[in-house]
Amino acid sequence: MTKLDSVRGTKGDVVLDVKGLRIRAKSKAGWAEIVKGIDLTLRRGEILGLIGESGAGKSTIGLAALGYVKPGCRITDGTILFAGEDLSELSEAELRRLRGVRIAYVAQSAAAAFNPAHRLIDQYTEVAVVHGIRDAASARAEAVELYRKLHLPNPEAFGERFPHQVSGGQLQRAMVAMALACKPDIIVFDEPTTALDVTTQIEVLAAIKDVVRDFHTAAIYITHDLAVVAQLADRIMVLRHGDLVEEGNTRQILEQPSADYTRQLLGRDPPKSDTTTASQKILTVSSVDAAYGSIKVLHHVSLSVGEGTTVAVVGESGSGKSTLARVVTGLLPCSKGALMFDGRSIDSSLRRRSLDLRRRIQLVHQMPDTSLNPRHRVREVLGRPLTFYHGLMGRLRTARIIELLEQIELDLTFLDRFPEELSGGQKQRLCIARALAAKPDLIICDEVTSALDQSVAQGVLRLLMDLQKNLRVSYLFITHDLQTVRAIADEVVVMNQGRIVEQGPKDEFFAPPHHPYTQLLLTSVPQMDPDWLDSIRETRAALARAMSLA
Amino acid sequence: MSTPADHSPPLNIAPADRPHRQDPGRFRALLAGLRQAPLSAWFGLVIVAVYVVVALFASVIAPYGEGQVVGSQFDPWTAQYLLGTDNLGRDTLSRLIYGARNTVGIAFLTTSLAFLIGGGAGLVAAVVGGWVDQALARLIDILMAVPQLIFALLLLTIFGASVTSLVSIIAVLDATRVFRLARAAGMNIAVMDYVEVARLRGEGLIWILSREVLPNILPPLVAEFGLRFCFVFLLISSLSFLGIGLQPPTADWGSMVRDNAILITYGDVTPLLPAAAIALLTVGVNFLVDWFLHETSGLDDET
């Protein structure tokens, strides 16, 4: 083929050698060490997985491989050897020669990493042309070829589009192409699929795997999802609080993890709930249509939530599941259909709902960071609904706040803290407690665990289940994560493009036969098996062949 | 499966020494912030403090009365009249000191009023949105379309140059700028989930404005207050210089420059002193505002 496929160096050479890396970050209390003496060797043609929860220092290490530290951070010790030079001692100008050319970076959010004002192909060629490696014409030709390799639709014309004209998965692949533009020795992938739907994630993973193999590039793959990294990595480093927990071959880590922490990360089976069936319906949504302006997002949606049960609404982004939540809360009045709450018909507009009705339906948002006012202390966050709905004041109010804090397993010391002094999981618990303060009958949970680390999310799920058992509160649980559904749901509703494609009890949902879309969702969840990606691709290819034959 | 990490992520452990009680903690934090403040901030703070003290205790500090004729016209600098006398034989130093009270006081009053009007309207526009926002914003656009100084001159000739009309006219004109800032900053906050939570709860407009939105846009507003104050101050001085600001015998830095301007032709710097007082305060306030913005925006210099 072309020179694109020529290989620099041979497989197995050490390309990056990090020794005793220590990085400090400036905080209010002084300098805190966030990377505590990490050794790392990367060989050509190898993918190294860095895995850990937030705060593990994995992104910081990934960026350090480019000789870069975030503002407010500083490399205090250690060497980062690349091609015989210590990146931690090179000047900015020298580093700029390397970055993008010999060491490339693929960020988590491709949408934020692309300049929206330029065409994709121009952004691709920029790196190569600026560094004087290729002229514009040959860089363009290469781009088209790479787009083809990455299975992007219509590769000749693809690059002429602007970032907003392609889908998230395509954009992420375009970014992988961009990283490959100068045939780098190392690519650092920083959670490239985390923001994507499961069905899209597969395409991106497959593309990355192929490209890295074909180009004999070394890669560092950063993620919090062990099942994802299992598909790609040859070796895995498990990190926690800036320390190495363990390191080993992918299979070895998956099959015989030596550290407890790794086992904990592996143990993905979340808490299981017994399915309960309710006699009484608390919420009934019947054939609801809803639209944002002229764009119709919900078509004929009907579902019901039984008293003290959990209905999970599953779907990918754009399926209309969050819109459904807005309709039930009254934020978005529906254009057709009716809502029933506790046996009575209710107004679809929030403005006309009574205070008592508002109290009985509470919403917990996805992002705890934006759903807590940064200027309100825990005491005020919980106290306001108590005063507002129940007229509690003074000592009675404080007593009830403490009671609520106990319910979410936080102690008294939290009373006077601001949200920024809480961790992500604690913030989400606080949001749940705020909803509970109203003494609601129905809590709508909109992706409440998707912004949290795996183990923290499981804690929040368990809390929600305990609360349901004790308080008989019902949940309308909106999520894209099927593990969460397995954990918490009594009934499952699958949505796709604003319509309900399947609904029924959880056991039926997880047992075949499936609706084709449900099938697609279920099989797209990465498994803890290094061969899963290849096998699923084979199955799908076979399926596609069969369909084209038929 | 047990997940101990759930209950003890690293961030859970709050440093024990961090004060959680409200006021002593905040006060101490403020002191600590001051101790680390750069020289420019200290400079600004000292200047502002001196002006405030002079303005408050003008009658105690000034050697003579505000409009008191004590000597002959344009006396030179002597031990009796430290900075000489003006065109009517009044002590320049005393008038400079009283000028601080009048000009600074009125500028402060005007800026506060401007923030009350502009900030309030801006917040309402941001939170309520819809036609209320459109109506307010277009009205403000119309007000802003006319150059400020000319508009002020026009209105002052219509309503007469009293202190009340001076304050209210400048406040309204300046409120347009504040409105823009408050609206822009408020809009960023109004889309936050916690505002939606408050709306869902059924909170009224006043609560949402004052408790949910306002505290979060306070830093840019306070910074803007400092800058606006300078502009108002300059505007009042300009108007006084033109003769339709504060009316004699009230001492005012702008009119003091005008009254004694003739001295410059004789190589006397006295008429420049009120101008220098204006300049110094402007510089001081700006230093202070810069520091405040830097502190509250969370921007840290790269190290």
Question: How do strand A281-292 and strand A295-306 relate by DSSP bridges?
Answer: antiparallel
Q: Which amino acid is at A302?
A: S
pLDDT of A9 reads 58
Query: Is pLDDT at A148 greater than 80 in this prediction?
Result: yes
Query: Is pLDDT at B298 greater than 90 in this prediction?
Result: no
Q: What's the rounded mean pLDDT across residues A416-436?
A: 89
Helix (H, G, I), strand (E, B) or coil at A20: strand
Instruction: Report the distance separating Cα A422 and Cα A429, nearest Å.
Output: 10
pLDDT tens digits along A325-352: 999 999 888 888 899 998 889 888 888 8
Q: Which tokens belong to A358?
A: 């508002």
User: Taking a C-beta distance cutoff of 8 angstroms, is the pair B99, B256 a contact?
Assistant: yes
Percent of chain A scoring above 90 in pLDDT: 19
Residue with the bigger pLDDT between B261 and A383: it is A383
Could you tell me which chain A residue has the CA closest to the CA of B188? A370
B128 CA: distance to closest CA in chain A (Å) = 13
Instruction: Report the distance separating Cα A70 and Cα A187, nearest Å.
Output: 18
Q: Order of strands across the sheet with A103-106?
A: A103-106, A186-190, A218-223, A47-51, A235-240, A243-249
Residue with the bigger pLDDT between A450 and A341: it is A341
Instruction: Report the distance separating Cα A441 and Cα B52, nearest Å.
Output: 57
Query: Is pLDDT at B24 greater than 80 in this prediction?
Result: no
Could you tell me which chain A residue has the CA closest to the CA of B201? A358
Residue A413 contacts B where some CB pair is shorter than 8 Å? yes
Q: What's the rounded mean pLDDT across residues A470-491?
A: 88
B8 CA: distance to closest CA in chain A (Å) = 9
Instruction: Report the distance separating Cα A17 and Cα B219, nearest Å.
Output: 46
pLDDT of A4 reads 38
A331 and B15 within 8 Å at the Cβ level: the answer is: no
One-letter-per-residue 3-state SS of B203-268: CCHHHHHHHHHHHHHHHHHHHHHHHHHHHHHHHHHHHHHHCCCCCCCCCCHHHHHHHCHHHHHHCC
Instruction: Report the distance separating Cα A289 and Cα A302, nearest Å.
Output: 10
Instruction: Please count the other Cβ atoms lying within 10 Å of the Cβ belonging to residue A142.
Output: 22
pLDDT tens digits along A166-193: 888 888 888 888 888 888 889 999 888 8
A72 and B6 within 8 Å at the Cβ level: the answer is: no
Query: Is pLDDT at A120 greater than 60 in this prediction?
Result: yes
Instruction: Report the distance separating Cα B286 and Cα A68, nearest Å.
Output: 35
Q: Which one of A375, A418, A426 makes the best mutation probe of the B interface by having the most chain B beta carbons within 10 Å?
A: A375
pLDDT of B9 reads 40
Query: Is pLDDT at B249 greater than 80 in this prediction?
Result: no
Query: Is pLDDT at A531 greater than 70 in this prediction?
Result: yes
- A1-5 long-range contacts (CB < 8 A, ≥24 apart) are A2/A142, A2/A145, A4/A142, A4/A145, A4/A146, A4/A183, A5/A214, A5/A215
Q: In A, residues 455-474, which contact B (CB 8 Å cutoff)? A: 455-456, 458-459
pLDDT of A530 reads 80
A358 and B1 within 8 Å at the Cβ level: the answer is: no
pLDDT tens digits along A45-64: 889 999 888 778 888 888 88
Q: How far does Cα B17 stand from its chain's mean position?
A: 36
Instruction: Using the Cα atoms of residue A368, residue A371, residue A374 and residue A377 in order, give the sign of their dihedral.
Output: negative
Chain A to chain B Cβ contacts (< 8 Å): 102
pLDDT of A221 reads 92
Which has the minimum average pLDDT: A153-167, A255-269, B37-51, B141-155?
A255-269
B200 and A363 within 8 Å at the Cβ level: the answer is: yes
Instruction: Report the distance separating Cα A170 and Cα B252, nearest Å.
Output: 67
A5 CA: distance to closest CA in chain B (Å) = 41
Residue B29 contacts A where some CB pair is shorter than 8 Å? no
DSSP letter string over A44-79? TT-EEEEE--TTSSHHHHHHHTTT---TTEEEEEEE
pLDDT band with cut points at 50, 70 and 90 for residue B178:
very high
Could you tell me which chain B residue has the CA closest to the CA of A355? B202
Q: Is the peptide bond before B249 cis (omega within 30 degrees of 0)?
A: yes
H-helix or E-strand containing A83?
A: none
Q: Which one of A53, A373, A386, A446 makes the best mutation probe of the B interface by having the most chain B beta carbons within 10 Å?
A: A373
User: Which chain B residues contact residue A241 at CB under 8 A?
Assistant: 10
Give the relative orientation of helices B130-145 and B105-128 as an angle to the nearest 10 degrees.
Answer: 140
Instruction: Please count the other Cβ atoms lying within 10 Å of the Cβ belonging to residue B133.
Output: 17
Residue B296 contacts A where some CB pair is shorter than 8 Å? no
Looking at every residue in chain B, the average pLDDT score rounds to 81
User: Which chain B residues contact residue A409 at CB under 8 A?
Assistant: 7
Q: How many residues are given for chain A?
A: 550
Q: Which one of B2, B3, B302 makes the best mutation probe of the A interface by having the most chain A beta carbons within 10 Å?
A: B3
pLDDT tens digits along B72-115: 777 777 777 777 777 777 888 888 888 888 888 888 899 999 99
Residue B24 contacts A where some CB pair is shorter than 8 Å? no
Q: Which tokens belong to B81?
A: 């009249």
Q: Is the peptide bond before B248 cis (omega within 30 degrees of 0)?
A: no
Instruction: Report the distance separating Cα B225 and Cα A483, nearest Å.
Output: 52
A382 contacts: CB under 8 Å, gap ≥ 6 = A401, A404, A405, A430, A433, A434, A437
pLDDT of B121 reads 94
Q: In A, residues 62-101, which contact B (CB 8 Å cutoff)? A: 71-72, 74
pLDDT tens digits along A453-462: 777 888 889 8
Q: Which of B6, B197, B302 has the CB atom closest to A371's CB atom?
A: B197
B9 and A453 within 8 Å at the Cβ level: the answer is: yes
Query: Is pLDDT at A358 greater than 70 in this prediction?
Result: yes
Burial class (CB in 10 A: 0-12, 13-18, 19+), B222: middle
Query: Is pLDDT at B17 greater than 70 in this prediction?
Result: no
Q: What's the rounded mean pLDDT across residues A54-79?
A: 85
Instruction: Report the distance separating Cα A122 and Cα A542, nearest Å.
Output: 36
Q: Which of B200, B215, B302 has the CB atom closest to A358's CB atom?
A: B200
Instruction: Using the Cα atoms of residue A446, residue A447, residue A453 and residue A456 in order, give the sign of their dihedral.
Output: positive
pTM value is: 0.78
Looking at every residue in chain A, the average pLDDT score rounds to 85
B199 and A71 within 8 Å at the Cβ level: the answer is: no
Query: Is pLDDT at B8 greater than 60 in this prediction?
Result: no
User: Taking a C-beta distance cutoff of 8 angstroms, is the pair A50, A235 a contact?
Assistant: no
Ordered alpha helix ranges (H), A39-181: 58-64, 92-98, 110-113, 120-130, 136-149, 155-158, 168-180
Q: Which of B6, B11, B215 has the CB atom closest to A375's CB atom?
A: B215
Query: Is pLDDT at B220 greater than 70 in this prediction?
Result: yes
Q: Which of B11, B202, B216 has the CB atom closest to A355's CB atom?
A: B202
pLDDT band with cut points at 50, 70 and 90 for residue B254:
confident
User: Which chain A residues contact residue B22 at CB under 8 A?
Assistant: 416
A533 CA: distance to closest CA in chain B (Å) = 27
Residue B91 contacts A where some CB pair is shorter than 8 Å? no
